[in-house]
Amino acid sequence: MALVLPRSSTAAHPPSLHPAYTSTVLRAPREPLVLVPHTLTELTGPVYGQGKVRDSDADLTTQHGGEPLGERIIVTGRVLDEDGRPVPNALVELWQANAAGRYVHVRDQHPAPLDPNFTGAGRYLTGEDGRYRFTTVRPGAYPWRNHHNAWRPAHIHFSVFGPSFVSRLVTQMYFPGDPLFPFDPIFNGIPDERARNRLIARFDLAVTQPEWALGYQFDIVLRGREATPTEEPHEH
Amino acid sequence: MSTEPADTRPDGLSPSQTVGPFFHYGLTPGTAYGHVPVSVDGQVAAPGTPGEPIVLTGRVIDGAGDPVPDAMLEIWQADSDGRYAHPDDGRPRASNSFTGFGRSDTTADGTYRFTTIKPGRVPGPGGGEQAPHILVAVFGRGMLKQLFTRVYFDDEASNAEDPILALVPEARRGTLIAKRDGDTFTLDIRLQGEGETVFFDV
């Protein structure tokens, strides 16, 4: 079972330079990337230990003395490879603003209230079926200074480890129907509309729990797939 | 009503988005956010790990020459025998506790820092060997996807025969080679402009 990492799939990602997102202008390289073969270095990656993630890391509503304010939600989905196979033992890390759109981060000075009962960070290690599941509150939209009257659509940050170091993905999950989508240069930095829409979670009544919480499904597809026996695992 | 999709081949990868300015409490909480568990930090090798202990440090600098105070680096490396803590590298390892994986945010002056061990040579394409190196992913606000680069070491004669360095124009190879001073190797990462770091299409 050898891993292959098709380069063509990475066209789904945004380019490094997207001038509408002004912070990219001085942080995107100008020289072309140097194409290199996939060696053992690229084809391997960190393996996270089962014992290191606690069950309580997945419930962001029970990390303090009381319950956070906001709309309680369940966010679940599968981490998949490019062929749709589940990725087991994948570390999923998540962080987000509170219901008022305020991050607990010291550098967030947006005049919205902090919630003493909400930090907004969690972790999950996927099972054999590749599934993760978090309980949290729906984050609020918040302003930023990219351009006049700039607001980020509500989102949850995801960090995911796959089968190799170059499968690693940091992304954001959005909520269906957000009116801020057309105005957000980060979301629209992804050139392909179908690829953009893969970052929008799907409301799911089957995940929704009566009298308790709305449910959303968000599958995450990582780079990499298993080579068929006739394929050369190391691409040159 | 379940809207679970059928098990079919996905439409494509989930596209990348920036880590943003506020990742620290989720990814590099340190001691500032005590109730957030730390998944991984810049302490890659515990004391006593077989191999030569080193510090890898430097600054991340933007296209205006200013330090980047809100970047995050992740590194992936082999152990001192050149073996990876991963099932696809089936060779036995001297230490099962060394993962070869680390994560460091940058400070106000753009500095990252890892304490680790110097990796050994690892297998390369076509049955050859690569010079000792560390694979690096750079994340940050203003970066819609991570950039990949490598760190090599200036005291390694095998750099001259490394198959990956050989793909880099000679004039730019220096951007990948950390300079030794005692047990500390230093390499700045310049995202753009003069002396721009070589980034790889992996």
- In chain A, what percentage of residues exceed pLDDT 90? 86
Helix/strand/coil (H/E/C) assignment for every residue in B146-181: CEEEEEEECCCHHHHHCCCHHHCCHHHHHHHEEEEE
Q: What is the DSSP string of B105-158?
A: E--TT-EEEEEEE----EE-GGG-EEPS-EEEEEEETT-SS-EEEEEEETT-GG
Q: pLDDT of B6-24, one tens digit each?
A: 467 899 999 999 999 999 9
pLDDT at A50 over 80: no
Spatial CB neighbours of B183, under 8 Å, sequence gap ≥ 6: B52, B53, B54, B55
Confidence of residue A231 (pLDDT cuts 50, 70, 90): low
Q: What is the mean pLDDT of chain B?
A: 94
Q: Which chain A residues are within 8 Å of B192, Cβ to Cβ? A: 26-30
B122:A41 CB<8 A: yes
Question: What pLDDT, in 10s, does the model give residues A124-168?
Answer: 999 999 999 999 999 999 999 999 999 999 999 999 999 999 999
Question: Considering only CB atoms, which chain B residues are within 8 Å of A47?
Answer: 85-87, 99
Q: Rounded distance, CA A109 to CA B75, Å?
A: 31
Q: Where would I find the beta strands (DSSP E) of B44-123?
A: 53-61, 71-77, 101-105, 111-117, 122-123
Per-residue pLDDT at B141: 98
Confidence band of A234 (pLDDT split at 50, 70, 90): low
**Nearest chain B alpha carbon to A54:** B37
Closest Cβ opposite residue A168 in set B25, B35, B137: B137
The values of phi and psi at residue A127, to 5°, are: -85, -170
Window 41-60 of A, Cβ < 8 Å to B: 41-48, 52-54, 57
* Bridge partners of residue B54, in order along the sequence: B116
Residue among B8, B17, B84 with most chain A CBs within 10 A, to mutate: B17
Q: Would the CB atoms of B16 and A14 count as touching at under 8 Å?
A: yes
Q: Check CB contact of B6 with chain A, cutoff 8 Å.
A: no
- Under an 8 A CB cutoff, do B17 and A14 touch? yes
Q: Is the pLDDT of residue A38 over 60?
A: yes
Confidence of residue B64 (pLDDT cuts 50, 70, 90): very high
**Segment B100-115, tens digit of pLDDT:** 999 999 999 999 999 9
Residue B31 has a pLDDT of 78
CB contact under 8 A, B22 and A108: yes
Which chain A residues in 60-89 lie under 8 Å from chain B, judged by CB atoms?
63-64, 80, 82-84
When CB atoms are compared, the residue of A13, A28, A103 closest to B16 is A13
In this prediction, residue A39 carries a pLDDT of: 96
CB contact A173 to B (< 8 Å): no
Global pTM value = 0.95
| Residue with the larger pLDDT of the pair A2 and A118 | A118
Q: How far apart are CA B45 and CA B67, in angstroms?
A: 27
Per-residue pLDDT, averaged over A45-61, amounts to 88
- Judging contacts by C-beta atoms under 8 Å, the chain B residues touching residue A192 are 15
Segment 145-164 of chain A within 8 Å of chain B by CB = 157, 159
**Do B147 and B24 touch, CB atoms closer than 8 A?**
no
Among all residues of chain B, which has the CA nearest to that of A216? B3
pLDDT of residue A236: 44
Q: Does residue A229 register a pLDDT over 90?
A: no
Segments of chain A assigned E as strands: 3-4, 34-35, 72-80, 91-96, 121-125, 131-137, 142-144, 150-152, 155-160, 169-174, 202-203, 214-217, 220-221, 225-226
Chain B CB within 8 Å of residue A209 CB: no
Residue-wise pLDDT tens digits, A55-108: 889 999 999 999 999 999 999 999 999 999 999 999 999 999 999 999 999 888
A112–B contact, CB cutoff 8 A:
no
Confidence of residue B2 (pLDDT cuts 50, 70, 90): very low
pLDDT at A27: 98
Q: What value of ipTM does the predicted structure carry?
A: 0.95
Closest chain A C-alpha to B183 CA, distance in angstroms:
24
DSSP state letter for B18: -
Q: Is the pLDDT of residue B34 over 90?
A: no
| Percent of chain A predicted with pLDDT > 70 | 96
Which active-site residues of A does the annotation give?
Answer: 103, 142, 152, 155, 157
Q: What is the pLDDT of residue A203?
A: 98
